[in-house]
Amino acid sequence: MMTAAIFGVLVFFIMIGLPIAVSMGLTAVIFFVALGETDVLCMIPARMYSSTTSFTLLAIPFFILTGNLMNAGGITNRLFRFAHNLVGHLKGGLGHVVVVSAMIFAGMTGAAVAEAAAIGTVGLEGMTKRGFDRKFSTAIIASASTIGPVIPPSIPLVIYGSITGTSIGRLFLGGFIPGFLMGIALMVIVYIVSGQRGYPREKRATLRELMDSTLGALSAVLTPVIIIGGMVSGIFTPTEASVGATVYALILTMFIYKEVKLKDIPRILWETLESSVRVLFIISAAGIFGWLLIHQRVPETVIKGLLSLSGNPWIVLLIINIILLILGCFMEGISVLLLTIPVFVPVITKLGIDPVHFGLIMTLNSMIGLLTPPVGMVLYTMSSISRIPVWDLAHELRWHLVALMVVLGLVTQVPSITTFVPNLLMGSAR
């Protein structure tokens, strides 16, 4: 009864338009007062502060800064040229170029919205000029940008790892195959739709052109190598890896490509500050809400409820997927993670499900949620860039969503998709 009341009040606040962080914090305060726990109120500021002081969470602003530097430093055009020469000759050429560019760009920024903004303008302009329908062009850019937080580095995986104590390195390595599968699935959609609608393909690049574009993009592609290589080898912690990536991005964009000037740095830092504060404020509010859930023993209630439905791990994961997909329609991805991790992780621990496997399942769900109305953040970002109404864009995305859900189903049912690479490079966690 108490669990239903807590989530009922939270949903009410969200439905009347309060920001998710405010909704979670206000719900916690109301229930603590209603329960007579007024002495807890004076501890709320300390709880909010402690929720954001994890050393691991320090990686978030640095990964955001790395992405912002790469966005401003001309990296996008170099990646597009490389992807164009690599896959542009396939049916639906520039659609495949967008997907491959997004997969490569994913190794430089851990946020889908940032990736959508980075590749959105360049990709949309190029595809429109080549005769692609504007809605289809916008849809493939939006869906491809969700690969960003799956292929490392990934802000959602940093948050999941910091809350659950799961190795960030293992989570990052676990994202490679799912991210690759997402790209393949979207390229299949591009190929099928392009064949039906007669979209063009590009001229096949010569070997020299491919080599030149590869060399031009190589220094940018080294970013994920620095991050993952440093963590796997034990040279870096995740936080130190994020700092190393930022330093590398700064050197690359200011001194090698010379497209970021000293005068641009204050603007880039301010954009990073805004994004970081937004994420960390949600995390701090989730700390209070999570405290309330633990106080009222909500996780135990959820465990009993789910296990009463089935003791089969795959059935429980199916139920959790459905819940996460529904929540993703109404809440921003990171908010969904912060709200549900304290509730679901005890369940998967009880069932013996690998935490790396579950972390990727949660991240994939939150990425799909970014494309679903009425609150899909990437959906709104691309609608704003392309000036296509949200619901028209959502309709165009229907087959892209089916493709991503097929990948989600595979990842859910075949744990080795997420655990193979971490176990290969870092040894078994068990």
pLDDT of the residue at 243:
86
List the single range of 35-44, 109-118, 127-136, 139-148 with lowest mean pLDDT: 109-118
Backbone phi, psi, residue 131, to 5°? 95, 10
Question: What is the C-alpha separation between 43 and 47, in angstroms, rounded?
Answer: 6
Nearest to 79 by CA among 111, 113, 126: 126
Coil, strand or helix: which one is 113? helix
DSSP state of 206: P
Listed in order, strand segments (DSSP E) in 102-214 are none
Which of these, 276, 62, 325, lies nearest to 168 by C-alpha position? 62
pLDDT at 429 over 70: no
Q: What is the rounded distance in angstroms from the CA atom of residue 82 to the CA atom of residue 286?
A: 41
pLDDT of 180 reads 94
- Of 143-147, 151-155, 186-190, 295-299, the range with the highest mean pLDDT is 186-190
Neighbours of 15 (CB within 10 A): 10
Per-residue pLDDT reduced to its tens digit, 334-353: 778 888 888 888 889 888 99
Look up residue 156 and give its two tokens: 């959602």
Kindly report the average pLDDT of the chain as a whole number: 84
| Predicted pLDDT at 75 | 75
Please give the Cα distance from 158 to 175 (Å, whole number).
12
Lowest-pLDDT choice from 3-7, 89-93, 113-117, 238-242:
113-117
Q: Give me the pLDDT at residue 109, please.
A: 63
Q: Which of 179-193, 237-251, 409-423 has the lowest mean pLDDT?
A: 237-251
Q: Which domain holds residue 167?
A: 2-426
Is the pLDDT at 430 greater than 60? The verdict is no
Contacts of 129 (CB under 8 A, 6+ apart): none
Which of the pair, 71 or 159, is modelled with greater confidence?
A: 159
Please name which of 194, 174, 175, 198 lies closest in space to residue 186, comparing C-alpha atoms: 194
Nearest to 178 by CA among 425, 428, 412: 412
The residue whose two tokens read 């491959």 is 100
Amino acid 178: pLDDT: 95
As for how many domains the chain has, the answer is 1
Read off the pLDDT of each residue in 165-187 and give the average, rounded to a whole number.
Answer: 93
pLDDT digits 0-9 by tens, 358-417: 999 999 998 898 888 766 778 877 887 788 888 888 899 999 999 999 999 999 999 999
Residue 374: cis peptide before it, omega within 30 degrees of 0: yes
Of the listed ranges 99-103, 127-131, 187-191, 287-291, the least confidently predicted one is 287-291
Can you give the pLDDT at residue 111?
67
283 or 167, higher pLDDT: 167
Which residue would you say has higher pLDDT here, 19 or 166? 166
Find the mean pLDDT for residues 235-257.
83
